[in-house]
Amino acid sequence: MIRPFARFASAAALVVLFFPFLNASAQQQDVPAAPAENPTAPAPKAPVFPKPDPADFTASSPTRETVDAFMQANLGFEPNNMWQVQKILKTPVDGLSKVIVFVGDKTGKQQPYQFPFFATADGKHIIVGDRIIPFGDHPFADYRAMVQQRATGPYRGNASKDFEIVEFADFQCPHCKSAQANMDKLVADFPKAHIVFENSPLSAIHPQAFIAAEYGACVAKQGGSTAFFQFASAVFDGQDGLNTPDGATLTLNSAVTKAGQDPAKIAACAATPEIKSSVDASVQLTQDLNIASVPTLVINGRQVPANAPYDTLKQIIEFQAKLDGVGQ
């Protein structure tokens, strides 16, 4: 579900799913196209990028090595992804450089494109369209530290946060409901991961999402993580009941009972300022991470749509764990 305060790029192409800001800025100028598919034609080949011109590297920062490391961190999960740093140019703004990278597919089946962005003077951010994106040799490090410190929701799996997957979701969001099949598979396939649920209610479009989040926070407080995930499963299963206030009360109370908790005690807890503050803190974390949509996973700081195709999602997680040197 698209978050009202941010724009989420189209997920039509695989690369856009996991590098979401590319779609808005990708251009196909000056990049050799992959051959059109034709049953009688030779198999497509990888694009041949033009040789970079040394005259197009007028800025001292970022270096080609830093840009390459950034691209590897983002696209290295797929062995067929390929790229070439084409230009790093000074701009009239002191410390702001324009970078152009050519991106393609070694199989030649995907249309190659330009990825242009502006690198800021601090070396930690780039500007792509209307978004500011973490940048550098280790672009996810700051977000990883942020979620390790502030993502304190109920969890499954390992207690250690060395390998951490944080799900940001809204109980009234249909896409979040459909992502739960992926989440259950992740729990089974990555037993060494610390898999956290963080509330991210879209109150502007889902009026009952915030109260559902408050109930969930109270179930976790009174019954622990096991009770919370029983509650969450029941709420997602009965999600249609959240469409009205009366339906939400029935749905939430039923989910509380299924989680082995007392509906009256949970309702009283949900009305407290402490619980509202805890949900507000989770919403603030969502915004501080610049999460554009839910459901989103933050994997050691790296953002991935939680309802992506599972095999690719698993591939991304394995790659990120290897990149960070943590066990799976």
Phi, psi of 93 (to 5 degrees): -90, 125
Specify whether the CB–CB gap between 208 and 264 falls below 8 A: no
Cα–Cα separations (whole angstroms), residue 157 to 39, 164, 192, 194, 230: 48, 10, 6, 5, 15
pLDDT for residue 24: 35
Give the CA angle between residues 119, 124, 130 to the nearest 5°: 55
Least Cα distance to 248 among 213, 224, 204, 295 occurs for 213
Specify whether the CB–CB gap between 102 and 84 falls below 8 A: yes
Tell me how crowded residue 207 is: count the other CB atoms within 10 A of its CB. 16
| Reported pTM | 0.86
Phi, psi of 44 (to 5 degrees): -60, 150
* pLDDT tens-digit profile, the chain (328 residues): 544 333 222 222 333 334 443 433 333 445 555 555 556 666 778 899 999 999 999 999 999 999 999 999 999 999 999 999 999 999 999 999 999 999 999 998 888 999 999 999 999 999 998 888 999 999 999 999 999 999 999 999 999 999 999 999 999 999 999 999 999 999 999 999 999 999 999 999 999 999 999 999 999 999 999 999 999 999 999 999 999 999 999 999 999 999 999 999 999 999 999 999 999 999 999 999 999 899 999 999 999 999 999 999 999 999 999 999 997 7
The tokens describing 178, both together, are: 């459909």
pLDDT for residue 154: 98
pLDDT for residue 131: 86
pLDDT for residue 38: 58
Dist. CA 196–CA 221, nearest whole Å: 14
pLDDT for residue 44: 79
Sequence letter at residue 250? L
> Residue 205 contacts by C-beta under 8 Å, 6 or more apart in sequence?
1, 4
Name the helix (H) or strand (E) containing 89: strand 81-90
Least Cα distance to 262 among 303, 304, 227 occurs for 227
pLDDT for residue 160: 96
Least Cα distance to 74 among 325, 292, 324, 316 occurs for 316
What is the four-CA torsion angle of 239, 245, 247, 251, rounded to 10 degrees? 60
* Domains defined for the chain, CATH in brackets: 14-137 (no CATH), 142-324 (3.40.30.10)
Question: 231-265 burial, b if ≥16 CB within 10 A, otherwise e?
Answer: bbbbbbebbebbeeeeebbebbbbbbebbebeeee
pLDDT for residue 5: 30
Give the CA angle between residues 254, 167, 252 to the nearest 5°: 10
Residue indicated by tokens 């992959």: 34
Phi, psi of 9 (to 5 degrees): -65, 160
pLDDT for residue 37: 55
Tell me how crowded residue 155 is: count the other CB atoms within 10 A of its CB. 23
